[in-house]
Amino acid sequence: MTIELLSISYAFLGGLIISCSFFLVHIFSSINPYHRPSFPLSSSSSALALSILATFVLKQETTLLAIREVVAVALMCVISFLPFIFIVLTSALLRVSISIGENYEETRSE
Amino acid sequence: MNEDLSRDDVEANQILVWIALLSIFSGFNLHRMGPSFDRRSLGFPLLVFGTSILIILYLEPFGYVLSGPEKEIIDSLASSFHWVVLALSGSFLIIYSIPTYGNSNGSPALSKSSDSFLAISPGKFTILAGWISLGLSWGIIFYSRLPSLLDSFILGISVLLGILIGALFFVLGVWMAEKGFRMQEEVNPLSNSEGILVSKIIRRNLEGNEGDH
Residues B97/B130, Cβ–Cβ less than 8 Å: yes
pLDDT tier for residue A71 given thresholds of 50, 70 and 90 = very high
pLDDT digits (tens, 9 = 90+) for B79-129: 888 899 999 999 988 888 777 666 544 444 444 444 444 444 557 788 888
Q: Is A93 a domain residue?
A: no
Q: Which residue has the higher pLDDT, A63 or B15?
A: B15
Q: What is the ipTM of this complex?
A: 0.86
pLDDT of residue A108 exceeding 70: no
- Tell me which DSSP letter residue B202 carries: H
Q: Output the pLDDT for position B193.
A: 87
Contacts of B39 in chain A (CB under 8 A): 29
Chain B nearest-CA residue for A46: B169
Instruction: Give the domain range for residue A26.
Output: 5-79
Residues B105/B126, Cβ–Cβ less than 8 Å: yes
Q: Do A93 and B94 touch (CB under 8 A)?
A: yes
Closest-CA distance, B9 to chain A, in angstroms, reads: 17
Contacts of B87 in chain A (CB under 8 A): 86, 89
Q: Is A87 a domain residue?
A: no
- Tell me which DSSP letter residue B146 carries: P
Q: Output the pLDDT for position A104.
A: 64
Q: Is A24 a domain residue?
A: yes
- B155, B161, B172, B174: best to mutate for the A interface, most A CBs within 10 A: B155
Q: What percent of chain A has pLDDT over 90?
A: 47
Q: Output the pLDDT for position B13.
A: 81
Q: Is A84 a domain residue?
A: no
> Over chain A, what is the mean pLDDT?
86
Q: Do B173 and A18 touch (CB under 8 A)?
A: no
Q: Which residue has the higher pLDDT, B109 or A68?
A: A68
Q: Is A101 a domain residue?
A: no
Residues 50-79, chain A: which have Cβ within 8 Å of B?
51, 65, 68-69, 71-79
Contacts of A89 in chain B (CB under 8 A): 87, 91
Q: If we measure between CA atoms, which residue out of B113, A108, A94 comes closest to residue B121? A: B113
The ranges assigned to domains in chain B are 1-66, 79-146
Chain B nearest-CA residue for A4: B151
pLDDT tier for residue A41 given thresholds of 50, 70 and 90 = very high
Q: Is A62 a domain residue?
A: yes
pTM, to two decimals: 0.74
Q: Output the pLDDT for position A106.
A: 67
Chain B nearest-CA residue for A70: B69
Contacts of A71 in chain B (CB under 8 A): 69
Q: If we measure between CA atoms, which residue out of A43, A25, A21, A24 comes closest to residue B172? A: A43
Return the minimum-mean-pLDDT range out of A67-71, A89-93, B156-160, B182-186. B182-186
Does the CB of A40 have a partner CB in chain B at under 8 Å?
yes
Q: Is A94 a domain residue?
A: no
Where chain B has pLDDT below 50, the residues are 1-9, 104-120, 211-213
pLDDT of residue A30 exceeding 90: no
- DSSP assignment of B92-115, as one string? HHHHHHSTTTS-GGG-HHHHTT-S
- Average confidence (pLDDT) over A77-105: 85
| Number of independent structural domains in chain A | 1
- The Cα–Cα gap between B169 and B173 comes to 6
Q: Output the pLDDT for position A110.
A: 63
Closest-CA distance, B87 to chain A, in angstroms, reads: 8
